[in-house]
Structure formats: C-alpha cells, structure tokens
A and B are shown apart, each in its own frame.
Chain A
Amino acid sequence: QKEVEQNSGPLSVPEGAIASLNCTYSDRGSQSFFWYRQYSGKSPELIMSIYSNGDKEDGRFTAQLNKASQYVSLLIRDSQPSDSATYLCAVKRSGGGADGLTFGKGTHLIIQP
C-alpha cells in the first residue's frame, strides 16, 4: 500500500517564526500533492496544491516539492497562534483519472504566543 509519512509532533514554534512541516511519500508515480489544515473537530481545509518540482508561494505559505527525493514540505512564515492546527499532507494516487488521496496522519502544530 502506498504510504505518506509525517512526523506527528507536536511541533512547537514561537509566534512570528517559520514553521516547517515535512512529508515523504512512497508512490514514485504520484504527480499531485496537497496540504490541508484541520482544526480540532473540523474538516480538512485545502491550503495549497503543488504539482511541479520547486517552490510554490501563496501568502505566508510556501510548498516545496522534490519528486526525486519523494519529499514535500510546507513552510509557514510569520507564524500566528491561529495557525495552530493539524496539517495533513496528501498525495493523489498515480495511474491517472479520478482517484482518492492518500493522507498522512498529520503533524500537530502549536504556535506559542
């Protein structure tokens, strides 16, 4: 079974610092990668998608993809207490067409005021 691995945390980061979240995946054929944020008791909310090697920036968030190393990361700049949540890395299964995502178990991020 294809897997997505994340450090479960908790990852504690001071307010205003950069939070770095990492994810590795086993399906070498995967082409689509996603980061979701999930607050306690809520459903996952899409933050970013990335499809090509390199960096993709959206506001305070930067996603990084390295397909050769099978590695995806999310950087959160100027971390705010409202960023405290569980962050889920998700990978679309290879093979084309519609298919579900394989999710990591998430990293619990705590931003300390």
Chain B
Amino acid sequence: DVKVTQSSRYLVKRTGEKVFLECVQDMDHENMFWYRQDPGLGLRLIYFSYDVKMKEKGDIPEGYSVSREKKERFSLILESASTNQTSMYLCASSETSPSYEQYFGPGTRLTVT
C-alpha cells in the first residue's frame, strides 16, 4: 500500500510565525504535491515537485515555498503565516507516466491566529 504521512494532524500558529509542514512517502514516487482545501473552494494546487530539488508553482503559490532535498520528503513552508492561510493542507505523491495516480496523506489542519 502507498503510504503518505504528514508531520502533524493539527497545528495552531500565530500570525507572522514561520511554519513548516512535512510530508514523507514510502513508494519511491517521483512526484509530490501540496494542496490546500477550503470550504466552497475545493482543492487547490500550491506547489509540486517532479524530482529532488526541482519544484514548480501551482495555482496559488503566493505566501508559500517548498523544499525537496530527498526523494521521499517534500516540505511546505509558510514564510510568515497569515490568518488567510488557515486551511487543510494535503500532501500527495504519484508515479510518472502512465499512471499519474495521486495518493494523499491524512492532511494537516492549520489554524493561524
């Protein structure tokens, strides 16, 4: 079974703090993704990575950065957390062609106060 784990299920941070969300997958997948999910807006892609040290912006990268130093680990960084970044953050991983099936971690519910 594909296993994607995320460092925290729930996180509460203060405005202005630097926040690290970590994701680890054990299936040797090339591709990893960060999404956020908000009521009424659905799942939106923040960043993705197709190889170690490679990253691409998704649809809503503003206020975020990412790091992928090892193939199995993909981190999302909120440089200076703001209240509008309160959300559910979901990490996913996938193989490359032909499948592209993405498997999600359990999610981190982040609250910024």
Chain A residues within 8 Å of B, Cβ to Cβ: 1, 32, 34, 42-46, 49, 51, 88, 90, 92, 97-106
- Do B104 and A97 touch (CB < 8 A)? no
* A-B contacts, 10 listed (Cβ < 8 Å): A1-B59, A43-B105, A44-B43, A46-B102, A90-B102, A98-B30, A98-B94, A99-B56, A105-B40, A106-B42
Bound together, the chains give a CA A41 to CA B47 distance in angstroms of: 23
Contacts of A42 in B (CB 8 A): 106-107
- Do A34 and B42 touch (CB < 8 A)? no
Bound together, the chains give a CA A75 to CA B45 distance in angstroms of: 27
Nearest CB of chain A from residue B95's CB, rounded to whole Å:
9
CB nearest neighbor in A for B46 = A100
From A32, A43, A98, give the contact of B104 (CB < 8 A). Answer: A43
- Do B103 and A103 touch (CB < 8 A)? no
- Do B102 and A51 touch (CB < 8 A)? no
- Do B40 and A32 touch (CB < 8 A)? no
Main secondary structure of the interface of A (DSSP, over half): loop
Contacts of B31 in A (CB 8 A): 98
Given A1-B59, A98-B30, A98-B48, A104 contacting B104 (CB threshold 8 A): no
CB nearest neighbor in A for B105 = A43
- 8 smallest CB-CB distances across A and B, nearest first, come from A98-B50, A100-B45, A105-B42, A103-B43, A98-B31, A43-B104, A43-B107, A32-B100
CB nearest neighbor in B for A92 = B100
Contacts of A32 in B (CB 8 A): 100
B50-65 vs A, Cβ < 8 Å mask (1 yes, 0 no) = 1000001011000000
Most buried by A among B35, B43, B50, B56: B43
